[in-house]
């Protein structure tokens, strides 16, 4: 199990605590410190089955002032996310060939149940 984590984010800390309480061995990726490449983000989006637009933090001032009025293609948006990791919604959980945007935490709980069913 892998979590793309921002330790300063309460929702991200909640998700990490949940995974630990469930007994998962968790690899923590501090994506603000270890920038994701565009390919990393693209691969992750495929696993969580979301478009880049769905993981953008649209309330961030950087987004509002610099990018919100632009008509961006998916690959351009992925490049923006790679270069501006503060715009990536969190936490994102990756497990094998799937994953989930764990905001709200209920998404993670449902994903955990699904993973448990697949492993039984």
73-109 pLDDT, tens per residue? 999 999 999 999 999 999 999 999 999 999 999 999 9
Is 9 considered catalytic here? Answer: yes
The residues, any chain, with a CB within 8 Å of residue 11's CB and separated by 6 or more, are 90, 91, 102, 103, 104, 105
Spatial CB neighbours of 94, under 8 Å, sequence gap ≥ 6: 1, 2, 3, 4, 44, 47, 48
* Number of domains the chain contains: 1
Range of the domain at 11: 2-119
Q: Which of 3, 5, 7, 9 is catalytic?
A: 9
Give residues with Cβ within 8 angstroms of 103, minimum separation 6: 11, 15, 89, 90, 91
pLDDT band at 116 (very low <50, low <70, confident <90, very high): confident
The tens digit of pLDDT for each residue in 22-40 reads 999 999 999 999 999 999 9
CATH code, domain carrying 24: 3.40.30.10
């Amino acid at each position: 199990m892998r979590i793309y984590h921002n330790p300063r984010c309460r929702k991200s800390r909640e998700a990490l605590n949940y995974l630990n309480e469930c007994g998962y061995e968790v690899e923590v990726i501090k994506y603000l410190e270890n920038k994701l490449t565009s390919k990393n983000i693209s691969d992750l989006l495929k696993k969580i089955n979301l478009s880049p637009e769905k993981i953008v933090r649209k309330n961030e001032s950087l987004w509002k002032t610099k990018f919100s009025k632009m008509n961006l293609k998916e690959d351009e948006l992925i490049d923006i996310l790679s270069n501006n990791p503060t715009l990536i919604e969190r936490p994102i959980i990756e497990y094998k060939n799937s994953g989930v945007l764990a905001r709200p935490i209920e998404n993670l709980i449902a994903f955990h149940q699904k993973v448990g069913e697949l492993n039984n």
